[in-house]
């Protein structure tokens, strides 16, 4: 089993990433760091605690991460995020208040400690902005070398993005943080919008969860149906919702779900290109690359495995 840390802005597809990580027998989920984006950092942490309780995983600790980007001092949830994920981040579904609090150690310190303890055996999955990882590397640069596997959901190598024509939401929240991480020695795999938008979940699958007759099955079906309806109403996709964040978890364990290309990535942040993930022309001839960017996905194989785990 690999040790895994999820860095989530919990969010509906983040909730699916959480469920996937718990269900995959190859994964030992050692902690969740909360991030901001789909909701505020505190709400994200509460959502993770509530979902863990629902799934009977009360021994997985949840840590509070950074609450806003590295260049601002506050954060407001975008209206579009509330339309997609609901005002509470989890599709307006009300879950009982979690019985345990968030940990007192900061998410950044937890990440640094885990990097030293598990190094090559540690998988980190950022599915929100890159702020926590950037802060950890700033505090302890060794972290970039230590973590064995960083697979993140974010970016759009072949545009369009989902915030501007060029940018994807997670990278758009803190482009500077992402750019610094991309220039660090950290080896990363990018699971961007190019591929995640091709992995769709429909109401046929959420009905299977309802049919399980369990509380968790019903709650997850309600949450994800909200997401599917939002995709339909906002005309993002009329057939289903994208499995953005759980695909990153899947790829970290089974890289063959995607095809990747090797390159050195950068994030640009001038005007129209604010938060764009793009190959770094200044490092084109660099013999070493630090990014594997997914460009194709075996969506059918992934969906079969996803449903096997979640059922
Ligand atoms: C990403 O942004 C968030 O809305 C989702 O949870 C996902 O991580 C998609 O751009
Ligand atoms: Ca997310």
Of ligand 1's listed atoms, the one at least distance from the Cα of 81 is 4
Of ligand 1's listed atoms, the one at least distance from the Cα of 85 is 4
What confidence tier does 19 reach under pLDDT thresholds 50, 70, 90? Answer: very high
Residue 269 has pLDDT above 90, yes or no: no
Looking at residue 248, its pLDDT comes to 99
Whole-number Å distance between alpha carbons of 238 and 60: 36
User: Residue range 238-267: average pLDDT?
Assistant: 97
149 bridge partner residues: 123
CA atoms within 13 A on the CB side of 81: 25
Pocket probe for ligand 1: among 128, 159, 196, the residue whose CB has the most ligand atoms within 8 Å is: 128
Ligand 1 centroid to Cα of residue 290, in Å, is 23
User: Given the structure tokens 């990535």, which residue do they identify?
Assistant: 265
Closest CA to 30 of 56, 54, 63, 55: 63
Please give the share of the chain, as a percent, with pLDDT higher than 70: 100
Enter the pTM of the model.
0.98
User: Residue range 115-119: average pLDDT?
Assistant: 98
Whole-number Å distance between alpha carbons of 33 and 106: 9
**Is the CA virtual torsion 208, 234, 301, 38 positive or negative?**
negative
The neighbour count for residue 119, using CB atoms within 10 Å, is: 15
* Cα 143 → chain centroid: 19
Ligand 1 centroid to Cα of residue 242, in Å, is 9
Atom 10 of ligand 1, residue of closest alpha carbon: 169
Looking at residue 171, its pLDDT comes to 98
293 bridge partner residues: 190, 261
Residue 7 has pLDDT above 90, yes or no: yes
Ligand 2 centroid to Cα of residue 265, in Å, is 20
Could you tell me the two tokens for 208?
């299977």
Looking at residue 13, its pLDDT comes to 98
Give the residue numbers marked as catalytic: 9, 244
Q: What ipTM was predicted for this assembly?
A: 0.98
Residue 117 has pLDDT above 90, yes or no: yes
User: Residue range 18-45: average pLDDT?
Assistant: 98
Of ligand 1's listed atoms, the one at least distance from the Cα of 169 is 10
Closest CA to 242 of 229, 252, 231, 234: 231
Ligand 1 centroid to Cα of residue 210, in Å, is 25
Could you tell me the two tokens for 61?
């600790």
Atom 9 of ligand 1, residue of closest alpha carbon: 169
Q: Which residues of 195-208 are buried (b: 16+ CB within 10 A; e: fewer)?
A: bbbebbbebebbee
What confidence tier does 272 reach under pLDDT thresholds 50, 70, 90? Answer: confident
Look at residue 177 and give its three-state secondary structure. helix
Could you tell me the two tokens for 37?
């984006």
Contact 168, 137 (CB under 8 A): no
Looking at residue 287, its pLDDT comes to 86
Could you tell me the two tokens for 98?
């979690």
Q: Which ligand is nearest to the CA of 38?
A: 1
Pocket probe for ligand 1: among 153, 155, 159, the residue whose CB has the most ligand atoms within 8 Å is: 153
Summarised one tens digit per residue, pLDDT across range 179-234 is 999 999 999 999 999 999 999 999 999 999 999 999 999 999 999 999 999 999 99
Looking at residue 170, its pLDDT comes to 98
User: Residue range 111-139: average pLDDT?
Assistant: 98
Ligand 1 centroid to Cα of residue 305, in Å, is 21
For every residue of 18-55, DSSP letters joined together read HHHHHH-TTEEEEEEEE--SSS-HHHHHHHHHHHHHHT
User: Given the structure tokens 């369990």, which residue do they identify?
Assistant: 214
Whole-number Å distance between alpha carbons of 8 and 242: 16
Taken as a whole, the chain contains a residue count of 311
Pocket probe for ligand 1: among 35, 51, 129, 154, the residue whose CB has the most ligand atoms within 8 Å is: 154
Of ligand 1's listed atoms, the one at least distance from the Cα of 163 is 10
User: Residue range 127-142: average pLDDT?
Assistant: 98
Contact 3, 28 (CB under 8 A): yes
Looking at residue 270, its pLDDT comes to 83
Looking at residue 178, its pLDDT comes to 98
Ligand 2 centroid to Cα of residue 285, in Å, is 33
Contact 165, 274 (CB under 8 A): no
Q: Which residues' Cβ are closer than 6 Å to ligand 1?
A: 11, 13-14, 37-38, 127, 153, 162, 168-170, 244-245
Residue 303 has pLDDT above 90, yes or no: yes
Whole-number Å distance between alpha carbons of 295 and 157: 8
What confidence tier does 273 reach under pLDDT thresholds 50, 70, 90? Answer: confident
Summarised one tens digit per residue, pLDDT across range 142-169 is 999 999 999 999 999 987 899 999 999 9
Residue 140 has pLDDT above 90, yes or no: yes
Looking at residue 271, its pLDDT comes to 78
Cα dist. 51→77, 198, 208 in Å?
Answer: 21, 26, 19
Of ligand 1's listed atoms, the one at least distance from the Cα of 161 is 10
């Amino acid at each position: 089993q690999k040790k895994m840390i999820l860095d989530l802005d919990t969010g509906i597809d983040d909730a699916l990433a959480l469920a996937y990580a718990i269900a995959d027998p190859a994964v030992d989920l050692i902690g969740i760091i909360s991030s901001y984006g789909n909701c505020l950092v505190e709400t994200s942490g509460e959502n993770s605690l509530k979902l863990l309780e629902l799934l009977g995983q009360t021994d997985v600790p949840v840590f509070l991460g950074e609450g806003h980007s590295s260049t601002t001092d506050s954060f407001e949830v975008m209206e579009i995020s509330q339309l997609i994920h609901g005002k509470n981040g989890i599709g307006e579904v009300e879950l009982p208040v979690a019985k345990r609090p968030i940990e007192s150690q900061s998410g950044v310190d937890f990440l640094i400690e885990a990097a030293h303890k598990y190094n090559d055996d540690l998988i980190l999955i950022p599915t929100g902005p890159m702020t926590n990882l950037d802060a950890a590397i700033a505090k302890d640069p060794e972290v970039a070398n230590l973590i064995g596997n960083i697979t993140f959901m974010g970016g759009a190598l072949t545009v369009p993005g989902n915030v501007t024509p060029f940018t994807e939401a997670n990278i758009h929240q803190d482009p500077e943080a992402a750019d610094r991480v991309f220039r660090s020695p950290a080896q990363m795999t990018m699971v961007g919008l190019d591929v995640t938008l091709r992995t769709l979940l429909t109401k046929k699958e959420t009905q299977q969860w309802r049919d399980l007759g369990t509380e968790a099955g019903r709650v997850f079906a309600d949450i994800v149906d909200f997401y599917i309806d939002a995709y339909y109403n906002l005309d993002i996709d009329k057939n289903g919702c994208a499995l953005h964040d759980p695909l990153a978890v899947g790829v970290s364990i089974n890289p063959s779900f995607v095809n990747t290309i090797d390159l050195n990535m950068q994030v640009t942040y001038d005007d129209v290109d604010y938060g764009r993930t793009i190959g770094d022309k200044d490092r084109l001839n660099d013999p070493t690359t630090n990014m594997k960017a997914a460009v194709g996905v075996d969506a059918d194989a992934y969906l079969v495995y996803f449903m096997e785990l979640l059922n």
